[in-house]
Amino acid sequence: MDNVLRSSLTPPFYFGQILVQNVNGAMFVLSHRDDQSLHQLQRFRDAEDAAKIARFDDAGNYRPLKTAPNLRHGWRLELATIEDLRRALNYFYPARLAAFAAWKSGHLETTPLRKTLERQSGMYRVAAKISDPQINALVADFCRSDTGCLRTILWRRDGKGAIASTKLPGEKFDPACDQATASIPPGSTSPATRADSSTVPLLCQEGCNLLVAECRKVVKGENPTL
């Protein structure tokens, strides 16, 4: 994994809503990609500070989903080594570097949503009863890039290979597209910006726990929008 990441994490590059730059070959500088032209930013110098930055959004609300497009603004994180950089990026987007490295090497395994739901137990077992039309609508709403999640969906709805949601454009499933620049309302055909070599995608190999919880809500009739 180290060789894959070292060859891919060459500044400047984007990782979700983060811009990573290298200043004079001496240190890595991370900031919100919207803040790259700003100079009066709160300065941090420890990789662990990334966990604090990622915890709340601009309004001070807790961020349960770290890949949601609501990373707070106004900070600058300065790091000395690539090891510090890797640790910080893992705080910002847990496990996404490992998923990217596995994908680059051809070893990333994906899990259909139906399989993820079928292996649930306890109070979440009922989530497996969600219907295909309900999945189609839920994923389009919950996983959309502009307000839901910045990950690129690689998993399928079921073992037959059905797409996760027909209400999302194809770019949502394409690692070559930059989801952080996307505005993808359900049913829209407006494409995400085509990524280049300076964009490292956030990949989603299986439905997350929060999506499973939403599936349960749908089955229980606790999601009034679906």
pLDDT tens for each residue of the chain, 226 residues long: 566 667 777 889 999 999 999 888 779 999 999 998 888 899 999 999 999 999 999 999 999 999 999 999 999 999 999 899 999 999 999 999 999 999 999 999 999 999 999 999 999 999 999 999 999 999 999 999 999 999 999 999 999 999 999 999 999 999 999 999 875 444 444 445 555 558 999 999 999 999 999 999 999 997 766 6
Q: How far from 115 is each of 11, 13, 144, 157, 159, CA to CA, in Å?
A: 38, 34, 22, 9, 8
> What's the pLDDT at 53?
98
* β-bridge partners, 178: 193
Contact between 91 and 77 under an 8 Å Cβ cutoff? The reply is no
**What are the sequence ranges of the domains in the chain?**
2-94, 113-219
pLDDT, residue 190, reads 43
Amino acid letter, residue 223: N
CATH architecture label of 2-94: 2-Layer Sandwich (3.30)
